[in-house]
Amino acid sequence: MRYNNESFTRDPSCGKGVIKAMFDIVRKGFVLAALVPATVAMAADGTRDMRSYVSPQVQLVADDEDRNTGQGIGFQVDFGKAITQRYGIELGAFYRSFDAENNVPGQIDWDEFGYRINNMLFFNQYKASQPYASLGVGLAHLEPAGASFESDEPFADIGLGFFLIDRESENRNSLRVDSRYRHMFIEDDLYNSSSFGEFIVSLGMAFPIGKRAEPLAPAVPVATGVADADGDGVADKYDRCPGTPGGVGVDSVGCPLDSDGDGVPDDLDRCPRTPAGVAVDSRGCPIKQAPAAAERRFEDVNFAFDSSAISEYAAVLLDNAAAEIRSLQKKFNSVKVQVAGHADSIGTENYNSGLSTRRAIAVRDYLVSRGVKAGSIVTLGFGETQPIASNKTPQGRLLNRRAEIRARAE
């Protein structure tokens, strides 16, 4: 910066050497800000920490050659708040001091302080870092030593940076690196230059304010406006197990979770962690011995509305039932299997009677396809006459759309 007073004029050859060195430092800062996020784990979290934060920083300034002083150092404090996952605002205050270089005629000391508002554009959130771009405006109060005046000058800056998050700390404090270019607009005739610019590199910390929100349990996403009749979080067009009872945990295709793979869903399994290949009963417990002359009842098979189709979930239950029935048929001379079909109360009695019979036949045919002797199976259709739950609720109607399977060994 040159004043109208010629006593403050500097030798430009010295300043250019300083600026070149500082520009190299700042250029490396920009490269660092751009590359470090790529060196950390690249699995995206998908969400940002939305808490407010305080960010103290130390700064190194490579000043414009029109400023009759050496490089500057400073301190800045920002208060930030995320407005959305992609956008945030910072309010900051700063102080910077520029010292004249030895043996450089015309250089003087400078002080400046001021404030700014910073617009933050956040990129993808990574496991350990949060990169961003920023655009800020503010006002700087300039105090050149030995001059007969001071001035307030507006400025704008643009930058790149990132927060390096300490995921081991309870509060998730962050290391912050920031590189930016500041352009100052001179509004009066105190200086020969109408504007000047300078690069600033900052290193600091960010301390979130308040308690960190607990992460939400993962859920299977459903597109807005897509039908999901059983409310399990999987759209009907992708749901392989329609009619899953409410509250039952499901996998990505809408079928009840079965951690030990025994064919009994976790919410009904009384013997979790059953070894693979072990035959289990309807409670998920290993079969020890079929009781002589005793009746065995298997888990009910439920159906979608107005349907007798066997769902994937029902097929797993029937595979398990068929394996046990075959075992009984090998041990006993006579094994009688009864399949009773039922319906909810929607529709006429005659229609529901036929529908319940079709459901019983569908179960019989599936058991036969899995090796159960066809002659041992009797099918019955009770229509809507034997409900086990209220037909006034969707959950109750689902329970009533069923087929009951019993086996008696003698």
Backbone phi, psi, residue 318, to 5°? -70, -35
Q: Which pLDDT score is estimated for 178?
A: 96
pLDDT for 52 beyond 50: yes
Q: Which pLDDT score is estimated for 239?
A: 75
pLDDT for 14 beyond 80: no
Q: Please check whether the domain covering 289-409 is classified as CATH 3.30.1330.60.
A: yes
Q: Which pLDDT score is estimated for 262?
A: 76
Query: Residue 363 — very low, low, confident or very high, per pLDDT cuts 50/70/90?
Result: very high
pLDDT for 250 beyond 50: yes
Percent of the chain at pLDDT > 90 equals 32
- What is the arithmetic mean of pLDDT over 118-135? 84
- The radius of gyration computed from the CA coordinates of the chain, to the nearest angstrom, equals 38
Task: Give CATH 2.40.160.20 domain extents, the chain.
Answer: 6-208
pLDDT digit string (tens) for 397-408? 999 999 999 998
3-state secondary structure 38-79: HHCCCCECCCCCCCCEEEEEEEEEECCCCCCCCCEEEEEEEE
Would you say the pTM of this structure is higher than 0.75? no
Q: Which pLDDT score is estimated for 115?
A: 94
- What is the arithmetic mean of pLDDT over 135-154? 84
More confident residue, 161 or 296: 161
pLDDT digit string (tens) for 304-325? 998 999 898 889 999 999 998 8
pLDDT for 38 beyond 80: no
Q: Which pLDDT score is estimated for 47?
A: 60
Q: Which pLDDT score is estimated for 228?
A: 73
- Residue 332 to residue 261: CA distance in whole angstroms: 28
Query: Residue 74 — very low, low, confident or very high, per pLDDT cuts 50/70/90?
Result: very high
- Residue 365 to residue 345: CA distance in whole angstroms: 25
- Indicate the CATH number for domain 6-208: 2.40.160.20
- What is the arithmetic mean of pLDDT over 20-47? 41
pLDDT for 5 beyond 90: no
Task: Give CATH 3.30.1330.60 domain extents, the chain.
Answer: 289-409
Amino acid at 291: P
- What is the arithmetic mean of pLDDT over 46-75? 82
Mean pLDDT of the chain: 78
Which residues, at least 6 apart from 171, have a Cβ–Cβ distance to it below 8 Å? 207, 208, 212
- Residue 146 to residue 406: CA distance in whole angstroms: 103
Q: What is the DSSP string of 115-161?
A: EEEEEEEE-PPBSSEEEEEEEEEEEEEEEETT-S--EEEEEEEEEEE
pLDDT digit string (tens) for 190-224? 555 566 788 999 999 999 998 876 544 444 444 45
Least confident range of 85-89, 322-326, 330-334: 330-334
- Residue 348 to residue 353: CA distance in whole angstroms: 9
pLDDT digit string (tens) for 378-391? 999 999 999 988 99
